[in-house]
């Protein structure tokens, strides 16, 4: 007849071991995903840089055509957008 307490103890050890392995695998996958997101973010940011530059140039030209009060509002909106988006907005 099998030793029931020893069998239960072994099953508990196996269960805990599998749980630890699963947790470690999840942690490794999380780190990999973080790296992929960083690369993707920097790639998107690099691709959008010329678009932001063109938008800045167009907004600069538009600003010169506006009345003083509207010019101030546009400048304020651009400043707020840059602060909100970490300096990446037009």
Q: What percent of the chain has pLDDT over 90?
A: 79
89 domain-assigned:
no
Q: What is the pLDDT of residue 1?
A: 62
64 domain-assigned:
yes
- What pTM value is reported for the model? 0.56
62 domain-assigned:
yes
Non-local CB neighbours of 83 within 8 Å, separated by 6+ positions:
none
Q: Is 49 exposed, middle or buried (0-12, 13-18, 19+ CB in 10 A)?
A: exposed
pLDDT at 69 over 70: yes
Please count the other Cβ atoms lying within 10 Å of the Cβ belonging to residue 75. Answer: 13
Range of the domain at 42: 4-84
90 domain-assigned:
no
75 domain-assigned:
yes
pLDDT at 2 over 90: no
69: its two tokens:
């009060």
Total domains in the chain come to 1
Q: Got the DSSP string for 1-42?
A: ---HHHHHHHHHHHHHHHHHHHHHHHHHHHHHHHHHHHHHHH
78 domain-assigned:
yes
């Amino acid at each position: 007849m099998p030793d029931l307490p020893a069998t239960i103890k072994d099953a508990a050890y196996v269960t805990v071991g599998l749980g630890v392995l699963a947790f470690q695998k999840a942690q490794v996958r999380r780190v990999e995903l973080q790296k992929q997101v960083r690369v993707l973010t920097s790639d998107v940011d690099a691709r959008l840089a010329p678009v932001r530059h063109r938008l800045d140039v167009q907004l600069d030209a538009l600003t010169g055509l506006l009345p003083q009060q509207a010019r101030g509002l546009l400048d304020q909106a651009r400043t707020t957008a840059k602060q909100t988006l970490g300096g990446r907005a037009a």
